[in-house]
A and B are shown apart, each in its own frame.
Chain A
Amino acid sequence: MIIYAIAFYLFAAVAVASGTMVVAARNPVHSVLFLILAFFNAAALFVLMGAEFLAMVLIIVYVGAVAVLFLFVVMMLDINFAELRQGFMRYLPVGALIGLVLLAELILIGGTWVFSPDAEIAISDKFYMSGEVTNAHALGLVLYTKYAYLFQTAGLVLLVAMIGAIVLTFRSRPGVRRQKISAQVGRRVEDSVELRKVKSREGV
């Protein structure tokens, strides 16, 4: 149990620290790298809670895709971050004050936290938390039944995201030659290759 606690506080502390560094780091590339570190620690926390599927998904999706995309964007865009940060010092006192107040309040709340006695009753589906089935199995069982509504709606959100991305960025410029996959796939040997007998030393 003590090992569990040590591991939890270790991962949690590293996660918070790297979160702070994401904001504080001067170099944006460093920020993204700290972000990846924070993700890893969060995944570790998931593992500690027995949610290994979520931990893996977090690493694959957030570290593997999102963070790498961030990295690319940050490295490819020519943004003068030093200039952007100029205002930072000006707002730091007020910002820090607000942040500290909020932090203090949240700590205060955490100290007085209680769970409602009814919460135990309200939490249904203890079956899936009992560890009798694997994580992924359990998720699958609820995702397509109890949470089908949310699952489908999330699908719609993704559809809209796709439409939105296309609407905002896709444009057909004149004079740009585009790949026509169907034409490529539909090409046959006869259409593009002409076999000729070339007599030797005569040329075509």
Chain B
Amino acid sequence: MLQVACVFLPLLGAIIAGCFGRKIGDRASQIVCCLAMGTSAVLAIPTFIDVALHGNARTILLFEWFASGDFHAPWALKFDTLSSVMVLTVTVVATAIHVYSVGYMSHDKSIPRFMAYLNLFTFFMLTLVTADNFMQLFFGWEGVGLVSYLLIGFWFDRHSASAASMKAFLVNRVGDLGFALGIMGVFILFGSVEFDTVFPLVPGKVGESMEFMGFHGDALTLVCLLLFVGAMGKSAQIILHTWLPDAMEGPTPVSALIHAATMVTAGVYMVCLLSPMFEVAPVARDIVTVIAATIGLVQNDIKRVIAYSTCSQLGYMFFAVGVSAYPAAIFHLMTHAYFKALLFLGAGSVIHAMSDEQDMRKMGGIWRKIPFTYAMMWIGSLALAGIPFFAGFYSKDMIIESAWGAGTGVGQYAFVMGVVAAALTAFYSWRLIFMTFHGKPRADHHTMEHVHESPPVMLAPLAFLSLGAIFAGFIAYETFVGHHMAEFWRGSILILPQHPSMEHAHEAPLWLKLMTIVVAAGGILAAYYAYMVKTSLPARLATMFRPVYLFLYNKWYFDELYNFLFVRPAVRIGRLLWKGGDGVIIDGLGPNGLAAVTVGLARRAGRLQTGYVYHYAFAMLIGLVGLVTWYLFYGRL
């Protein structure tokens, strides 16, 4: 009962705020939504203790959703260690963000709509993580995608926002197609979409092959890859990552909630959940690792720094998954949720202070005016860069060590990429801090006068999240990824004994630990040198290596590439089909021709209806005689 309330309270809040928001007013909507979310978070705590710590995993069957032939899909809430960790993380972070939004969106015109969306999003996220079958997973999956679209385009009167929301939706569609195909593949392969039925069958299906678009391939690898395409779309992995930076058009709390802490990690969650399948599909895992490690380097764009850092952090999680370090991935997912949300909300607080200015180049020198936010940004960045004893240190180190410990070729590749990415992360994090808070003020006089600390309702969530960013790693390290982690996960995650990357990670030599720290510190120092000491350096470098700079500045030309490869041809094909195919052939023969016929038929059918009773009676008799005649001559079977 607790658990059901935990999942459905946000939906209730969304319905109340969404349907009756205008009636009950802004304030009441905020209260209702925050209350629903807060209660849900409070309920998640005993659930977590009961399920994860005391080991009472359970599945609550709500009702049958689909039953069509062999195809069954119930509505059920599955609570095991994995999902209860997710529920706890999602609800806690979401609560902080809800409270923050009260302050951040206080001047907006449509507060109830915003709060309703936030609540709705959390509901979908919770159904996603508590799914006990693929259909429900897909429902939550599509639901968060939908609300993400709504929230990115929340300020729909801005052209850039609606364009960004469309882009996010379309790119996600590509991933979702893969996901849907993956689910169909699962059904074909296993004859069921329920996890509890599918997973035990996995070992028996190793080596079976399946045909897909004319290719024969290993069935499990194929299914896993298709599912991973879905994860790539949602978790913004390379190839399908282009939507995420644009998604920052949405209000800042949205970026924090959806595009940092929760939704984008759904892909990671999904792969961990399906660990029994991925474990036996080594090729799929290798591809995951390579793709994920590569994204670590796509982070160098300077405009949407935090967004790109999300890409790279997700990359960490995915290559952890790829080397079978699922607990490490979930661990990083959790710590990341805290510190990334903290960074986003801190950035939001800065934007708020700077009268809605988002461009870093127009900031600077404001650290004295907003000391609290400044401190928070430091904590977030320290955690992000993996400086010892902050949350990020524990989880990120674990991942890098696991990559090292995997002892495979792709593992080594991931390891190198991870270390390089750690340096770069540190570099751009401090670049952000230095550019925003230090140096000469670059904003105009008027704005600078108005710089002020945010209201307490925004600062309190920051403080709360900063606790998470500092302590979450330290507290949870032993439980999540320590030597006895198997007792904690209790079979909700499967790691085959052949993949002992985590075991090896525990025995990682000291130089490895030190190296990551040194690399991070190096990044920080480089940033200090470039942006504090020798401020002309970046500009000089940019002119010296102009092609490289432009390449990075334009995000590896991914957008242009897609534009050239997909969008323009699609438009051209569309135009051809529209003008030639549709206009001439189909319209000519179809709608226009057919429409003319239809209109003619319609007129004739209407004329039958004369209004005279004897005509009607006559029609009935003709029908009757016609039927009788038919049976007399043809119907004698």
Residues of the B chain whose Cβ atoms lie less than 8 Å from the Cβ of A95: 618
Contact B622 A105 (CB under 8 A): no
Residues of the A chain whose Cβ atoms lie less than 8 Å from the Cβ of B622: 98
| Nearest Cβ on chain B to A99's Cβ, whole angstroms | 8
Residues of the B chain whose Cβ atoms lie less than 8 Å from the Cβ of A94: 618
Q: Is B628 located at the chain interface by the 8 A CB criterion? A: yes
What are 21 A-B residue pairs whose CB atoms fall within 8 Å in the complex? A87-B614, A91-B614, A91-B618, A94-B618, A95-B618, A98-B618, A98-B621, A98-B622, A98-B625, A101-B625, A101-B629, A102-B621, A102-B624, A102-B625, A102-B628, A105-B625, A105-B628, A105-B629, A105-B632, A108-B632, A109-B632
**Which residue of chain B has its CB nearest to the CB of A84?**
B614
| Nearest Cβ on chain A to B607's Cβ, whole angstroms | 17
Residues of the B chain whose Cβ atoms lie less than 8 Å from the Cβ of A101: 625, 629
**Smallest CB-CB A-B distances: 10 pairs:** A102-B625, A98-B625, A105-B628, A101-B625, A105-B632, A98-B621, A98-B622, A105-B629, A101-B629, A108-B632
**Bound Cα distance A166, B258 (Å):** 69
**Bound Cα distance A94, B614 (Å):** 13
Other than A98-B618, A102-B624, A105-B629, give 9 A-B pairs with Cβ distance below 8 A.
A87-B614, A91-B614, A101-B629, A102-B625, A102-B628, A105-B625, A105-B628, A108-B632, A109-B632
**Bound Cα distance A118, B614 (Å):** 41
Residues of the B chain whose Cβ atoms lie less than 8 Å from the Cβ of A87: 614
**Bound Cα distance A95, B621 (Å):** 9
Within 8 A of A (CB), among B586-637: 614, 618, 621-622, 624-625, 628-629, 632
**Bound Cα distance A98, B629 (Å):** 11
Interface of A, secondary structure class, is helix
**Which residue of chain B has its CB nearest to the CB of A95?**
B618
| Nearest Cβ on chain B to A92's Cβ, whole angstroms | 12
Residues of the B chain whose Cβ atoms lie less than 8 Å from the Cβ of A98: 618, 621-622, 625
**Bound Cα distance A27, B621 (Å):** 26
Residues of the A chain whose Cβ atoms lie less than 8 Å from the Cβ of B629: 101, 105
| Nearest Cβ on chain A to B616's Cβ, whole angstroms | 13
| Nearest Cβ on chain A to B222's Cβ, whole angstroms | 62
| Nearest Cβ on chain B to A30's Cβ, whole angstroms | 21
**Which residue of chain A has its CB nearest to the CB of B624?**
A102
**Bound Cα distance A101, B624 (Å):** 11
**Which residue of chain B has its CB nearest to the CB of A102?**
B625
| Nearest Cβ on chain B to A102's Cβ, whole angstroms | 5
Residues of the B chain whose Cβ atoms lie less than 8 Å from the Cβ of A108: 632
Residues of the A chain whose Cβ atoms lie less than 8 Å from the Cβ of B621: 98, 102
**Bound Cα distance A98, B632 (Å):** 15
Residues of the B chain whose Cβ atoms lie less than 8 Å from the Cβ of A102: 621, 624-625, 628
**Bound Cα distance A102, B622 (Å):** 10
Residues of the B chain whose Cβ atoms lie less than 8 Å from the Cβ of A91: 614, 618
**Bound Cα distance A93, B257 (Å):** 80
Within 8 A of B (CB), among A90-118: 91, 94-95, 98, 101-102, 105, 108-109
Within 8 A of B (CB), among A60-114: 87, 91, 94-95, 98, 101-102, 105, 108-109
Residues of the A chain whose Cβ atoms lie less than 8 Å from the Cβ of B624: 102
**Bound Cα distance A102, B625 (Å):** 6
| Nearest Cβ on chain B to A36's Cβ, whole angstroms | 24
**Which residue of chain A has its CB nearest to the CB of B628?**
A105
| Nearest Cβ on chain B to A107's Cβ, whole angstroms | 11
**Bound Cα distance A91, B618 (Å):** 10
**Bound Cα distance A182, B625 (Å):** 57
| Nearest Cβ on chain B to A89's Cβ, whole angstroms | 13
**Bound Cα distance A108, B618 (Å):** 23
**Bound Cα distance A101, B629 (Å):** 8
| Nearest Cβ on chain B to A96's Cβ, whole angstroms | 12
**Bound Cα distance A101, B625 (Å):** 8
**Bound Cα distance A105, B629 (Å):** 7
**Bound Cα distance A113, B371 (Å):** 105
Residues of the A chain whose Cβ atoms lie less than 8 Å from the Cβ of B625: 98, 101-102, 105
**Bound Cα distance A144, B614 (Å):** 40
**Bound Cα distance A200, B629 (Å):** 94
**Bound Cα distance A108, B625 (Å):** 14
| Nearest Cβ on chain B to A15's Cβ, whole angstroms | 22
**Bound Cα distance A91, B628 (Å):** 21
| Nearest Cβ on chain A to B470's Cβ, whole angstroms | 82
| Nearest Cβ on chain A to B186's Cβ, whole angstroms | 56
Residues of the A chain whose Cβ atoms lie less than 8 Å from the Cβ of B628: 102, 105
**Bound Cα distance A61, B622 (Å):** 33
**Which residue of chain A has its CB nearest to the CB of B632?**
A105
Within 8 A of A (CB), among B365-380: none
**Bound Cα distance A95, B622 (Å):** 9
**Bound Cα distance A11, B18 (Å):** 80
| Nearest Cβ on chain B to A163's Cβ, whole angstroms | 25
**Which residue of chain B has its CB nearest to the CB of A109?**
B632
**Bound Cα distance A109, B635 (Å):** 14
**Bound Cα distance A98, B627 (Å):** 12
| Nearest Cβ on chain B to A165's Cβ, whole angstroms | 21
**Bound Cα distance A160, B552 (Å):** 86
| Nearest Cβ on chain A to B538's Cβ, whole angstroms | 92
Chain B, 332-344, contact with A by CB distance < 8 Å: what is the 0/1 string?
0000000000000
**Bound Cα distance A102, B624 (Å):** 9
**Bound Cα distance A124, B618 (Å):** 39
**Bound Cα distance A95, B632 (Å):** 20
**Bound Cα distance A6, B621 (Å):** 34
**Bound Cα distance A96, B618 (Å):** 11
**Which residue of chain A has its CB nearest to the CB of B633?**
A105
**Bound Cα distance A202, B632 (Å):** 97
| Nearest Cβ on chain A to B634's Cβ, whole angstroms | 13
**Bound Cα distance A98, B626 (Å):** 9
Residues of the A chain whose Cβ atoms lie less than 8 Å from the Cβ of B614: 87, 91
| Nearest Cβ on chain B to A112's Cβ, whole angstroms | 10
**Which residue of chain B has its CB nearest to the CB of A97?**
B625
